[in-house]
Structure 1
Amino acid sequence: MDAEPVRAHIRALRAAGVGNRVLRAAGVSHNSITYILHGRGGRPPTSRVKRETAEKILAIPVPHSRFEYSPTGLTVDAVGTMRRLRALIAYGYTQADLCARVGQSPTWCSYVVTGRAKRVRADAAHAVAELFDQLQMVPGTDRRSRKLAQQKGWLPPLAWDEDRIDDPTYTPELLQHSKTVVDDFTDFEELLALGVHVEDACRRVGVSASTLEARYRRYERDTPQELLRLVWTQRRERKRGSKRREAV
């Protein structure tokens, strides 16, 4: 079958932090991966792939986060876990409640939330990410937690771009408290209807394209095709930039 979709899937897996170990565990040999991506013997990458090999590769989902396929005992950067816990506290959940939900001690939770932890176990990071996905659209009820987060400048879940929350170099857009998310949708869609370019519309609304697209998904609202195309292009460019940096 055509190798290009398979090749693109391998690249997407690598961009998400999935290495050859996972592919080999799925029954794909190192030689097959090399042949698909780079070719061999001076020949270009193959244009055809055995259906059996393709199905094994395409069956591996691109992970939501970089630590999803990490071995249980492996440690990962703690920044994404810290951000998710802080965001849920800002959304009205107590630190103690969150700790209990992910099966961690209050000491561990405090160490992560305050930023003292630089790395956490992959299984703990995964548990926090799953909890974040479950609660990010379900407001908590603890006012003290909300007040504490506000005093410390911790941002709520919707302020974070799902694709970049684990990136230590990422700084999210600040929410405009004078407007609701629905107001942003309305303003953005009106700008598009007036013929404003999608990138300019995002700038005028004051929200990055990726953050706005994530909010459309979280609110289960139909995302304008112009926005989807822009986000897809930006993600592709980020992946290319990451690969260029790795090659240096």
Structure 2
Amino acid sequence: MSADAVREHVAAMRAAGVNQNQLAKLTGVAQPSLSRIMTAGPDKQVAAWVEAAVLAVPVPERAAAVTTDNALVPILGARRRFQALVASGYPAAHLAREMGLTRTNRTVCSLMGHRADSDGRVTQEISAEREREVKALFDRLQMTPGPSRQARRLGQLRGWPLPLEWDESAIDDPNGRPEKARWTPESAREERREHVDHLTAQGLTAPEIAERLGINTRLVERDRAHRRGSRDTESTAPEPSSTAEVHAMRELAVKARADIAARRRQPARRRGGLERTR
């Protein structure tokens, strides 16, 4: 059988970050055999079982999804995820602790984009195990803003996108780009209210939510009141017109009684049609 389909698939796997050694482990086809297939002339033929074995391994969005723990995979997606969490308010030291590392660990420095190689270059690879840890951390924290204003400020200075500005199909793609939020005041307000709702459901107090979101406590309380009012309005079914009229009449009666009582409490101001003076 022609080797063309195998070559195309191996090339796609390489582009996804799976190196030939890992592909050999995944397919069961020896690495030297794969090398010969890739370098042979256009008339190269392969056995049917080789083609079937190679094509049976799907091209992953992330190399770490299919490779062994100690395999080296591209760091790009992990770096974008890590930096996005910093931009949303999680200090690098906090994220490092979550991974069982220190802030000065070489992996953490690489995820921050610092030069960590002995030759002064920025590392472009990470172990598949660490890559999966970063993704798990991102998946857990991306919807909850972190507590650190300093971390958010660092993210702004570095121009790092926020987690929700990354599409899952783009974050691991070298050509992928974030969708910068083009918020109107109304949409920004709605997103803030959703965050307040989410954190309230987690049991956080208004001051704690205010600190996390970088807003004042009064605004948190106002957002909470707005949400309660919206839910009450949505949960109240419209009343029949007859019942609504009864309620309206009752309200008018209550108001009238209140007005009469208020006038009675006022001291007499007139005598004989003339205003009293002193």
- Stretches of 4+ moved more than 6 A in 1? 1-4, 167-170
Q: Superposed, which structure 2 residues align to 1:1-248 within 5 Å?
A: 6-25=6-25, 26-30=27-31, 33=34, 44-46=43-45, 49-50=47-48, 52-66=49-63, 69=67, 72=70, 74=72, 80-108=77-105, 111-112=109-110, 114-116=112-114, 117=116, 118-119=122-123, 121-122=126-127, 123-136=129-142, 138-142=143-147, 144=149, 145-160=151-166, 162=168, 165=171, 172-178=178-184
Q: Which amino acid aligns with 1:28?
A: V
Please say if residues 87 and 160 of structure 2, whose CA atoms lie closer than 8 Å, have aligned partners that are also in contact: yes
Please say if residues 61 and 172 of structure 2, whose CA atoms lie closer than 8 Å, have aligned partners that are also in contact: no
Deviation at 1:35, TM superposition (A): 7.1
Deviation at 1:156, TM superposition (A): 0.6
Q: Tell me the number of residue pairs that the alignment of Structure 1 and Structure 2 aligns.
A: 175
Between the aligned partners of 2:133 and 2:20, the Cα distance in structure 1 is: 24
Q: Which amino acid aligns with 1:100?
A: R
Deviation at 1:28, TM superposition (A): 0.7
Please say if residues 92 and 139 of structure 1, whose CA atoms lie closer than 8 Å, have aligned partners that are also in contact: no
Aligned to 1:231: none
- Gap runs ≥5 in structure 2: 117-121, 189-278
TM-score normalised by structure 1 residue count:
0.50
Deviation at 1:13, TM superposition (A): 0.6
Distance 1:33 1:89, change over 3 A: same
Between the aligned partners of 1:78 and 1:30, the Cα distance in structure 2 is: 24
For the residue of structure 1 that corresponds to 2:12, the secondary structure is helix
- Tell which has more relative contact order, 1 or 2 (C-alpha 8 A, sep 6+): 1
Report which of the two structures shows the higher radius of gyration computed on alpha carbons. 2
Please say if residues 81 and 112 of structure 1, whose CA atoms lie closer than 8 Å, have aligned partners that are also in contact: no
Distance 1:135 1:55, change over 3 A: farther
Distance 1:79 1:32, change over 3 A: closer
Between the aligned partners of 2:180 and 2:30, the Cα distance in structure 1 is: 45
- Gap runs ≥5 in structure 1: 182-248
